[in-house]
Chain A
Amino acid sequence: MKFAVPLVLFAALAGLLAAGLRRDPHLVPSPLIDKPAPAFHLARLDEPSRAFSPQELLGKVWLLNTWASWCVSCRQEHPLLMALSKAEVVPIYGLNYKDNRADALEWLSQMGNPYVLNVQDINGRVGIDYGVYGVPETYLIDKAGVIRYKQIGPLTLESLEKTILPIVGNLNDELAK
């Protein structure tokens, strides 16, 4: 019977591989979830002489969306951001990642501007603090300045309706307590 041992081991391995196929290895939860959003102090895209820092938003629930004019997937999620900003459920702030200011402004004037304001992360240092590994990524930050959710890749209608907006609702209710 000992000659069947390799067969049994292989069967277990094959079962494991079959289970692995149904999962997406790229979905890695961010270690920053439930941690304070990293602080930064960056120049605004519209008026580089003025700076913005996330501390100013303490007490608000907001989205931080990283994007760039060179990013193709950002183009894909843009209409959704526009719709979301029109609905006025949650304010969207933009982190313009490793981009050129003129290109970024051009993009906003052509495609519409869903952001309350944008900051420029020219060398991507803030992106590193946030663990950005590909634009677009979107962070949901609560009133205490804690990251509650991270969307890797473009937002979709499904992710907004099923995940992000319900969390936003819960977070907004938290104040009432």
Chain B
Amino acid sequence: MPSPATIGQFALIAALLLASLQATLPILGAARGKSSWIALAKPAGQWQFIAVALAFCCLAYCFVTNDFSVLNVASNSNSQLPLNYRFAATWGSHEGSLLLWTLMLAFWTAAVSIFSRHLPETTIARVLGVMGFISVGFLLFMLTTSNPFTRLIPVPLDGRDLNPLLQDPGMVVHPPMLYMGYVGFSVAFAFAVAALISGRLDAAWAKWSRPWTLVAWTFLTCGIAMGSYWSYYVQGWGGWWFWDPVENASFMPWLVGTALIHSLAVTEKRGAFKSWTVLLAIAAFSLSLIGTFLVRSGVLTSVHAFATDPRRGLFILGFLGIVIGGSLVLYAWRAKQVGLGSPFDVVSRESFLLSNNVLLAVAAASVLLGTMYPLVIDALDLGKLSVGPPYFNTVFVAVMAPAMFLLGIGPIARWKKASIPELARRLRWAFAASVIAAIVIPFYVEWKPLVSLGLLLAIWITATMVLSLSDKLKTVNLKSLPRGYYGMQVAHLGVAVVIVGIAVVTGYESEKDLRMEPGDSVSVGSYDFQFKGLDLVSGPNYEAIRAEMNVFHNGAIIVRMHPEKRIYNVSGNALTNAAIDTSVFRDLYVALGEPAGENDGWSFRIQYKPFVDWIWAGAFLMAIGGVLALTDKRYVTPANKKIRIPEAA
């Protein structure tokens, strides 16, 4: 009986062969009209998925059963590690996370082959062919430079540990979520490339791509939000976004993907923006690939950085050149035939959506610029530097503020031709109310311009939403409004909630770093923190020093908080485990620093973070919006019955 690692190795090779088949014959068959070749696409894609899934299970099995004869397991796991983290360690390394990436891609491939029965066979053949080509790239990359099944001789008695930062429930769900989203854009990409190959780009193309893009976007939204929350509670700094290159790598496809779902809607409903939509579909997945390159090649330093290996970087870069370069060559060649689509007025819902699209693309480009800038400067030998939050925050607010303003108008404006005086008349009360509220509310705490701006945009979005809903209800009742409409409004409400969270927490958070001895008290915000004392506790694979902090508000004790400092037994790494007390309007955050001086003195970081949870709640609302839109009847009913969505009245 061969060992699981050997089976996994062979499964990967089998997957490579199947993916090669999937990438070549169906596309050729579609070009030459050979139906037997076209028919290979689905079985090849499905068997490729089974092979990759088998390889993944083998690797997971090696991790769970502590098979330290596998280098990857020996370097990233340990027999003391709890079971769920041993499983999650499967994707804790460079090799394992590539396997997860490939698994997701194969999963999407299989899903497309199963759920696209109503599509023309040639289209499916091309779409699966393009996805197969991407699979070939990743499988080759794994087998040549990053084999997860490399064996270790002699077999060590035990493994090095999984990085303690990764020993967290977040590790179990965050990477799979993120990759589902990231990789899911490959479907829209494959549809776009297939359409470019065939030279036929009609509304049907947009209609087929929409649900896939929406699913991917929903996963990516959840993945990013979870990553942000994870870094908030695990890194011990109390920050929720760092503009770290790896965060940016997931954020850029999200921005472009957001533009894409809106653009697809216009292309499908109005037949406009065709070539722009194709470009966005290519860009969203290209940015996912570039993100993978940035993370996997070690070209940029980041808290997520993995070991640098120039061979790997070169391989991915070559692959990027072929996939992105190839698709853009195709675009440059064919986009003229695609045409711009039906015309629309300068003032119309189309133009508002297009402006918003452009702003989102500009935002993504400015994030890309900031992420790449250190590389440019280094490549020109002008020194080493890093681009920090001041750049990103400034540029991002400047670009997103007008986008958020347009977000309020878009759903209200008419398709094709709207009139500014009419819009102004309909929106004046919403606008006046937002301005007044935004100016007055911050005085309740302390007036700050950015808080006021954030509130203005959030209230504006909410007010226009109420307006749109009440307009709709004049003609139809609540139940007959399509799910897609609700999805849009819930997602937009999510945006407003995120803005409130960001504006308030940035404007009013307070923080103290100080040394405390047992019995000491300090007040942060309107809360008093009293340090009671220290305890020693042991976890499954770590020892920890635990502090007890009693928190008083208006003289009454409201919560006892227990921040920990953990020392992991195997690696000896220390990790701060902050204590967080969450409620709707604020988080209290206590992190234990270092021992400082006599009498059990320790350094503490204590933070008061108003409305911080609104950031993640808002992102969650956006994801719910995505799910609502997905359950719209249009995606559930057969393709031939087209259901028209009532337009804004």
Contact = CB atoms under 8 A, between A and B. Distances in A.
Interface of A: 3-4, 6-7, 10-11, 13-14, 16-29, 70, 123
B643 interface: no
Given A3-B333, A18-B317, 20 more contacts: A3-B275, A3-B331, A3-B332, A6-B279, A6-B283, A6-B332, A10-B286, A10-B324, A14-B321, A14-B325, A17-B293, A17-B375, A19-B379, A20-B378, A20-B379, A21-B313, A21-B314, A21-B317, A24-B308, A26-B308
Nearest to B301: A25
Interface in B542-576: 572
Given A3-B332, A20-B378, A14 B317 contact: yes
Contact of A20 (B279, B299, B328, B594): B299
A20 B279 CA distance: 26
6 tightest Cβ-Cβ pairs between the two chains A and B: A4-B332, A19-B379, A3-B335, A7-B328, A20-B375, A21-B313
A11 to B, nearest CB: 7
Contacts of B321: 14
A13 B328 CA distance: 13
Nearest to B386: A28
A21 B299 CA distance: 6
Contacts, number: 73
B109 to A, nearest CB: 25
Contact of B336 (A3, A14, A16, A27): A3
A21 B297 contact: yes
Contacts of A23: 378-379
A10 B328 contact: yes
A35 to B, nearest CB: 17
Interface string B357-384: 0000000000000001011101100011
A19 B375 contact: yes
12 contacts: A3-B275, A3-B336, A6-B279, A6-B283, A7-B331, A10-B328, A14-B324, A14-B325, A17-B297, A20-B378, A21-B314, A26-B301
A21 B310 contact: yes
A4 B327 CA distance: 11
A27 B381 CA distance: 13
B310 A16 contact: no
B300 interface: yes
Contacts of B283: 6
Contacts of A29: 383-384
Interface in B571-597: 572, 594
Is chain B's binding surface mostly helix, strand, loop or mixed?
Answer: helix
A18 B313 CA distance: 9
Contacts of B290: 13, 17
B299 A123 contact: no
A16 B375 contact: yes
A78 to B, nearest CB: 20
A164 to B, nearest CB: 21
Contacts of A19: 375, 379
B648 interface: no
A10 B379 contact: no
A7 B375 contact: no
Q: Which of A22, A25, A26, A70 has the most CB of B within 10 A?
A: A25
A6 B298 contact: no
B304 to A, nearest CB: 13
Contacts of B301: 25-26
Interface centre among B275, B290, B375, B594 (most CB of A within 10 A): B375
Interface in B499-516: none
B562 to A, nearest CB: 24
Interface string B321-360: 1001100110111011000000000000000000000000
Contacts of B325: 7, 10-11, 14
B387 interface: no
- Most B CB contacts (10 A, CB to CB) among A6, A11, A28 go to A6
A26 B378 CA distance: 12
A6 B328 contact: yes
B320 interface: yes
A145 B376 CA distance: 35
Interface in B270-298: 275, 279, 282-283, 286, 290, 293, 297-298
A7 B329 contact: yes
Contact of B299 (A10, A14, A17): A17
B378 A28 contact: no
A27 B379 contact: no
Contacts of A21: 297, 299, 310, 313-314, 317
Given A17-B375, A20-B375, A28 B384 contact: yes
Interface in B458-491: none
Q: Could you say which of A3, A11, A27 has the most chain B C-beta atoms within 10 Å of its C-beta?
A: A3
Contacts of B310: 21-22
Given A14-B321, A19-B379, A25 B300 contact: yes
A25 B383 CA distance: 11
A18 B279 CA distance: 24
A3 B333 CA distance: 8
Contacts of A11: 325
A25 B324 CA distance: 25
Contacts of A26: 301, 308
A174 B13 CA distance: 64
Interface string B4-36: 000000000000000000000000000000000
B332 A14 contact: no
Nearest to A11: B325
A6 B384 contact: no
A7 B378 contact: no
A156 B321 CA distance: 37
A18 B297 CA distance: 11
A151 B215 CA distance: 49
Nearest to B275: A3
A13 B372 contact: yes
A23 B378 CA distance: 8
A123 B594 contact: yes
B332 A17 contact: no
Nearest to B372: A16
Contacts of A7: 325, 328-329, 331-332
Which of A4, A16, A20, A27 counts the most chain B CB atoms within 10 A?
A: A20
Nearest to B329: A7
Contacts of A70: 572
Interface in B234-284: 275, 279, 282-283
Interface in B381-429: 383-384
Nearest to A18: B317
A16 B301 CA distance: 16
A49 B375 CA distance: 49
Contacts of B282: 6
A29 B249 CA distance: 26
